[in-house]
Structure 1
Amino acid sequence: MSTIYQDLIQFSIHIPQIDLSFHQYLIPAKEPLLIHTGNVQQANALVPQLKATLNGESLKYIFISHFEADECGGLSYILEQFPEAKTICSEVTARQLSGFGFTNEVIIKKAGEKITTDNYELEFISYPSEMHLWEGLLAMENRRGIFFSSDLMIRFGEATGLVVDADWTTEIKNIKPEQVPDPEKRKQLQNTLSQLNPKFVATGHGPCLNT
C-alpha cells in the first residue's frame, strides 16, 4: 500500500508465476471510492488495508471497469465488509453480476456520464473490453487529472509503487488488437482518449505513468 499520486492510494500484489502486478486504488475522500477489488484472494489481502486506511469509515462507491476476475472477483467479499458501498459499472457488467447472483445495489453508468462529489468528479469512457468486446467503462478523475486505464497501457514486471514517465500520445497508439480486437472500436477508443489530457495514469497492471 502506498500513496502514489496526490491522495491516491495504490494497493498491489505481484504474481511471480506470470510476472505481473495487479493494482487496486482508493480515493480516500469524504465519500471514499475504490477502483477494482482484485480477485477473491487479492480482496482478502485488501480488506485489512482498506479498514486501516478508512479508520472506521465505510466505502461509498466501488468502480468496476469490466467483468473479469481481477476487476471484480472479490466484489462480494468486499461488500460483506462494506455493505453500504454502491457498485458503479456498465450495463453489461451489471447484467453479468446479476447472472452470478449479485443482489447489492448497482449504479449503471454510460459513456459521458459522471459521478460527482465534493472531492472528485469521475467521468466515464466507453471501453470495449477484450475478446468479447463487452461494453465496459474507463474513468477519468477530472479534478486530479487521473486516468484509470484498467487493462490498457499494461506492462509486465514487479511494479508495486512504481511510476515512470510516458508520452500520452504514444500510449494511445500502442493499444494493441489483443486489448481491443475490433479495429473500428479500437480506433474510436483511441480517438476518444486523444481528447483527454491526464496528468497521471493509474494502471491496472504495471507501473503507473506520469504524462
Structure 2
Amino acid sequence: MSVIYQDLHQFSTYIPPINLTFNQYLLTAKEPILFHTGNVQQATEMVPKLKTILGYNNLSYIFISHFEADECGGLSYLLEHFPQAKPICPEVTARQLTGFGLTQEFIAKKPGEKLTTEDYELEFFSYPSEMHLWEGLLVLEKRRGIFFSSDLMIRFGEAIDAIVESNWETEIDGIRKEQVPDSERLIQLQRTLKQFNPNFVATGHGPCLKV
C-alpha cells in the first residue's frame, strides 16, 4: 500500500500469469471511501491495511463501477469488517449484488448524479462496461481532480506504486472497441470525457497517470 496522490492510498496486486496489476484505492477523508474491493483474496490482504490507515475511523462508502470479480468480488468480506460501509454502484450492479446475496443495502447512482461530502465531490458518468455492455459508472473526484478509470486506460505489466506522465486526450482516444464494444456508445463516452481536465487518473489496472 502507498499514498499515490494527495490523500489517496493505493493497494496493488500483480498477477504474473496474465501480466496485469490490479489496483484499489482509499480516499482518506472524514467519510472515507474505497474504490473497488478486489477479489476475495485481494480483499483479505487489504483489510488489515485499511484498518491500520483508518484507525478508529469508519469506512463510509465502497464504490463499485460495475459487476465483475475484481470490482466487487471481495464485498461480502469487506462488509464483515466494515458493516457500516454503504456500496455505491449503478442500478444494474445493485440488482446483481442483491441477487448474489452480497449485500441488501446500497446506494444506486445514475449518470449525471453526484455525491457531495465535506471533503470531496464525486460526479458519476455512464460507463458501458464490456461485461454485456451493462450500464456501469465512472467517477471524477472534482476537488482533487482525480478520475477513476476502472477498466479503461489499461497498461499491462507490473506497475505497483507506478505513475507515468500522459496526455488526457491521448488516453481517451486510446480507449479500444474491445473495452466498449458499441461504436456509438464509445464515441459518446469519449466526447463526455473530453469535457473534463483531471490532474490524475487512478487506473484499475497498470500505472496511474499524471495528465
What is the TM-score normalised by the length of structure 1?
0.99
The alignment status of 1:27 with 2:27, answered yes or no, reads yes
Q: Distance in 2 between matches of 1:156 and 1:41?
A: 21
Q: Distance in 2 between matches of 1:131 and 1:48?
A: 30
8 Å Cα contact 2:3/2:9 also seen in 1: yes
- What's the secondary structure of 2:70's corresponding residue? helix
Specify the code of the residue in structure 1 equivalent to 2:197: N
Equivalent residues in 2 for 1:76-95, closer than 5 Å = 76-95=76-95
Alpha-carbon RMSD: 0.7
Specify the code of the residue in structure 2 equivalent to 1:154: I
8 Å Cα contact 2:75/2:102 also seen in 1: no
Equivalent residues in 2 for 1:64-143, closer than 5 Å = 64-143=64-143
Q: Distance in 2 between matches of 1:195 and 1:112?
A: 13
Q: Distance in 1 between matches of 2:103 and 2:47?
A: 21
Shift of 1:104: 3.4
Give the share of equivalent positions with the same residue, in percent.
70
Q: Distance in 2 between matches of 1:131 and 1:47?
A: 27
8 Å Cα contact 1:86/1:104 also seen in 2: no
Shift of 1:178: 0.7
Specify the code of the residue in structure 2 equivalent to 1:20: L
Moved over 4 A (4+): none
Q: Distance in 1 between matches of 2:131 and 2:72?
A: 17
8 Å Cα contact 2:76/2:103 also seen in 1: no
Mind listing any 5+ residue stretches in structure 1 that lack a counterpart? none
CA displacement, residues 20-58 of structure 1 (integer Å, 9 cap, x when unaligned): 000000001000000000000000001000000001211
1:12 paired residue number: 12
Say how many residue pairs are matched.
Answer: 211
CA displacement, residues 94-145 of structure 1 (integer Å, 9 cap, x when unaligned): 0111110133310000011111000000100000000410000000000000
Q: Distance in 2 between matches of 1:103 and 1:24?
A: 20
What is the TM-score normalised by the length of structure 2?
0.99
Q: Distance in 1 between matches of 2:48 and 2:158?
A: 22
